[in-house]
Structure 1
Amino acid sequence: MEVVNDNSCSWINDLVPRNDVKSIQSDENCDWIIIGAGYTGLSAARKLGQLHPNQKIILIDAQLAGEGASSRNSGYLVDTTLNDGFTSNKELENYKKKANIYELGIQVVKKFIKEYQVDCDWNECGKFFASSNANDERILTNFSETLTKLGFEHNLFFNSELKKRLGTSFYNIALNTKGGILLHPGKLVRAMIDTLPENVQLFENTSLLKWEATNDKVKCYFKNGTIHSQKIIFATNGFLKSLGIKKNYNFPLTLTASMTRSLSNEEFKSIGEPKEWGVLPVRPMGATIRMTKDKRILIRNTAEVHNPLKMSKMDLDKRSFKQKIGIKKRFPQLPDDIIQSSWSGIVSRTRNSSQIFEKIDTNVFVAGCYNGSGIGVGTLFGEQIAIKASNEHTKEIETIETRHKPTWLLPQPFLDIGIKSRLIYERFRAKNEI
């Protein structure tokens, strides 16, 4: 699995390049090996380092640590999600279970930031679920009733008030939830790299070629060496399926996003000088939009079945053009050439929007499939899968294990046909929201 590093993501380009990158160059022995150095893998490594200070932990990533989906997401630390369709009392209970996991995710990230004094542009401003379609008022009203029953603080806003808050008259209705947090994902994951315990050895640009497990040993093969370990934790999220992990229960989707340069003072005044905000779509394939702390606009309005390892420049340019249209629809007064960078990233999905968190063999553990909530849930699951793999137990694990388990997926080619058909349908329903 060869994954390509690139310099197309603004979040990553905001950071000072690291100069301490090492790759596997010889055979190694260790007590623990973790595959994947995003939020989950870094969190797992940090917790294992704390639990087992005298044991050797190796953390592996196929590209630069933290520069996959962890740095490429939109920077939402979510408290609630909309497109789950919970209405009955039984479904409300399931929604509450999911929201409890989100809350635990927020708390574990807060704890990390406080403990290590991390600057990641943390902003507890909440988020908006917004639509330009007045008919979506019914969806948001029903969602408001759900949130009220569960005790989540929120407010409904309409066009004139939204224009003041967002700087655009595009949206007709929105629901704002108070518990969501906006942050800079690249800064957060870089801090996780910089604070790894001393007994964690990080190897990057090191692709796992093959692995095998017996009752007392795990063997991982790489281009320039083999690692023997007592236990393994897979934390590769969107690449779980390609490594053969729970392959009948998860699938990757490729998302693309663009970010503008910082708006000039005149441009910012022309949209009313709004405070930082984040909008998620009411309809699943609508656009995610952010106004960042430094007056940049981020937009993500594509999700598709695509080769997860690389997107060509030509393909990326086509998607960037759609994002240019999305920005112009919302901010027609801004220049046409305002987009500074565009990038792709991989998320992992399950059929029923649940997460993977389990022991799959005597010494093999896995956590992943965050369905778009990877900052908080990924960090939480990394910490807790390390605890579970250490044969310890916590109340957090109890909460995680009450969730619905991922459901079985159709085999190929039926799976891809089904996913593509659903995406086409959702894209049509949200065609005015790109």
Structure 2
Amino acid sequence: MNVVNDTCCSWINDLDRRSNIKNLDKDKSCDWLIVGAGYTGLSAARKLSELHPNKKIIIVDAQLAGEGASGRNSGYLVDTTLNDGFTSNKELSNYKKKTDIYKLGIDVVKKFIKEHQVDCEWNDSGKYFASSNEKDRKILENFSKTLLKLNFEHNILEKDELGKRLGTNFYKLALYTKGGILLHPGKLVRAMVDTLSGNVELLENTQLNEWSKNSDTIICKFNNHKIITKNIIFCTNGFLKSLGIKNNYNFPLTLTASMTRSLTDTEFKSIGEPKEWGVLPVRPMGATIRMTKDKRILIRNTAEVHSPFKMSKSDLDKRSFNQKLGIKKRFPSLSDNIIESSWSGIVSRTRNSSQIFDKIDNNVFVAGCYNGSGIGVGTLFGEQIAIKASNENSDEIEIIESRSKPTWLPPQPFLNIGVKTRLAYERFKSRSDI
């Protein structure tokens, strides 16, 4: 089944259309094949080209490069994620390993931006974990204790101060962390496409249908042609499972988001002219909300088990309606027809929120499953899986491989039943913040 994305993502539509698009039009061979041209695959290609300047590298994507989940996310480069209930030193140690990986991710993105002078609207404004439910105070207080132990600068804010900062009185409390970054994900990933080296061939709208390994040769079949390669790196994230990669350790979720047009000067003044900000929910199924640099409001308030290959317009419209309700709850003075675009995207999850970073066979490698932290961690893992696949090591790889490994998932249909049940439960618990 071919991947079919809607064409309504505001981040992507902010960009100039590309004209240099090539697809697979004949059989090819290469030294390295990378499957997936998002943050991870593009980062892997960039590092491989540095390590092997005389080798032939091909990167393929079933869609246009960077226009899958990478260009469709909410644009948070995170330093921390909210985890409740750290009751032992072991749990604290595991969380520190997570945040060490987040820091490495921020550093590798920052290095890329500096090296290539990328304008992706980088804003180190931090982020808010906010809730409209006073009962969530205990969660934030426990999280604060964890952050204090790890020396993360943060503070808990009450409703009045939040209202001044965010331009909405919807939230009752929030925990603010200073280290998070907001950026334009489409501009960042487009820069990664535009700066690929000369020994990297990018093939788009080229979907891998089947792959097999015969001794040290890997044969990859596409719609009409094939690529024979010596080494392969899978960087397809939400589509790993459809390719039979780490089947029992990951599953895809479909998320939908909407973005408003830019607020008029009058509308912006009516909500207090806040600076750019980003809110993440305290509970897993609450809404992610952003006020962008150009005065647009983004909302993401759905996550579900859905076909990762296509969402129909009618299905997308239903979700867009829910997002309009979410915006009106927070900004009742704004007009009803303020949403300009809505879109879907695919993320990959593991049972214990760990990432996949593995050699799965001789010359076969995989990186993915970022559980909502794909900009930084995806870029980091792409670079480091290229190093690992080249039989080299790094301090970063040692840190990555010290993390908890993804845990086993039950087979279908039990997996989908379990995931849907859990999502329904979390949706009920988060109902006031959707």
| Alpha-carbon separation, structure 1, partners of 2:421 and 2:5 | 31
The 8 Å contact of residues 128 and 174 in structure 1, kept in 2 or not, is answered as: yes
Distance 1:84 1:48, change over 3 A: farther
Task: Give the partner amino acid of 1:407.
Answer: T
- Residue of structure 2 equivalent to 1:211: 211
Please state how far the C-alpha of 1:371 moved relative to its aligned partner: 0.3
SS of 1:314 mapped into structure 2 = helix
- Residue of structure 2 equivalent to 1:73: 73
SS of 2:31 mapped into structure 1 = strand
| Alpha-carbon separation, structure 2, partners of 1:164 and 1:79 | 24
Task: Give the partner amino acid of 1:50.
Answer: E
Superposed, 1:15-414 pairs within 5 Å as 15-83=15-83, 85-414=85-414
The 8 Å contact of residues 85 and 142 in structure 2, kept in 1 or not, is answered as: no
Please state how far the C-alpha of 1:88 moved relative to its aligned partner: 1.4
Q: Deviations over 1:234-257 (max 9, x none)?
A: 000000000000010000000000
| Alpha-carbon separation, structure 2, partners of 1:327 and 1:85 | 30
Q: Deviations over 1:81-109 (max 9, x none)?
A: 00353231110000000000000000000
Please state how far the C-alpha of 1:224 moved relative to its aligned partner: 2.5
The 8 Å contact of residues 43 and 382 in structure 2, kept in 1 or not, is answered as: yes
Task: Give the partner amino acid of 2:32.
Answer: W
| Alpha-carbon separation, structure 2, partners of 1:84 and 1:146 | 9
Q: Deviations over 1:137-161 (max 9, x none)?
A: 1110111011000110001100000
SS of 1:380 mapped into structure 2 = helix
- TM-score, normalised by the number of residues in structure 1: 0.99
Task: Give the partner amino acid of 1:345.
Answer: G
Please state how far the C-alpha of 1:346 moved relative to its aligned partner: 0.3
Q: Deviations over 1:55-106 (max 9, x none)?
A: 0000000000000000110000000000353231110000000000000000
Q: Deviations over 1:313-349 (max 9, x none)?
A: 0000000000000000000000000000000000000
| Alpha-carbon separation, structure 2, partners of 1:346 and 1:266 | 36
The 8 Å contact of residues 213 and 363 in structure 1, kept in 2 or not, is answered as: no
| Alpha-carbon separation, structure 1, partners of 2:355 and 2:215 | 26
| Alpha-carbon separation, structure 1, partners of 2:386 and 2:141 | 40
The 8 Å contact of residues 83 and 284 in structure 1, kept in 2 or not, is answered as: no
| Alpha-carbon separation, structure 1, partners of 2:239 and 2:341 | 24
| Alpha-carbon separation, structure 2, partners of 1:140 and 1:390 | 43
SS of 2:206 mapped into structure 1 = coil
SS of 2:30 mapped into structure 1 = strand
Q: Deviations over 1:103-155 (max 9, x none)?
A: 00000000000000000000000000000011111110111011000110001
SS of 2:247 mapped into structure 1 = coil
SS of 1:248 mapped into structure 2 = helix
Task: Give the partner amino acid of 2:265.
Answer: N
**CA-atom RMSD in angstroms:** 0.7
Q: Deviations over 1:150-175 (max 9, x none)?
A: 11000110000000000000001000
The 8 Å contact of residues 328 and 334 in structure 2, kept in 1 or not, is answered as: yes
Q: Deviations over 1:243-296 (max 9, x none)?
A: 000010000000000000000000000000000000000011000000000000
SS of 2:249 mapped into structure 1 = coil
Task: Give the partner amino acid of 2:132.
Answer: S
SS of 1:232 mapped into structure 2 = strand
Structure 2 residue runs without a partner (length 5+): none
The 8 Å contact of residues 215 and 363 in structure 1, kept in 2 or not, is answered as: no
SS of 2:145 mapped into structure 1 = helix
Please state how far the C-alpha of 1:5 moved relative to its aligned partner: 3.9
- Residue of structure 1 equivalent to 2:416: 416
Task: Give the partner amino acid of 1:301.
Answer: N
SS of 2:108 mapped into structure 1 = helix
Task: Give the partner amino acid of 1:142.
Answer: N
Please state how far the C-alpha of 1:217 moved relative to its aligned partner: 1.0
The 8 Å contact of residues 39 and 379 in structure 2, kept in 1 or not, is answered as: yes
| Alpha-carbon separation, structure 1, partners of 2:12 and 2:318 | 22
The 8 Å contact of residues 83 and 282 in structure 1, kept in 2 or not, is answered as: no
Q: Which moved more, 1:263-272 or 1:4-13?
A: 4-13
| Alpha-carbon separation, structure 2, partners of 1:218 and 1:86 | 44
The 8 Å contact of residues 79 and 103 in structure 2, kept in 1 or not, is answered as: yes
| Alpha-carbon separation, structure 2, partners of 1:106 and 1:95 | 17
| Alpha-carbon separation, structure 1, partners of 2:213 and 2:192 | 29
| Alpha-carbon separation, structure 2, partners of 1:59 and 1:16 | 22
Give the paired residue count: 434
Share of identical aligned residues, percent?
A: 76
| Alpha-carbon separation, structure 1, partners of 2:425 and 2:5 | 32
Q: Deviations over 1:181-211 (max 9, x none)?
A: 0000000000000000100000000010110
Task: Give the partner amino acid of 1:16.
Answer: D
The 8 Å contact of residues 5 and 64 in structure 1, kept in 2 or not, is answered as: no
The 8 Å contact of residues 83 and 143 in structure 2, kept in 1 or not, is answered as: no
SS of 1:53 mapped into structure 2 = coil
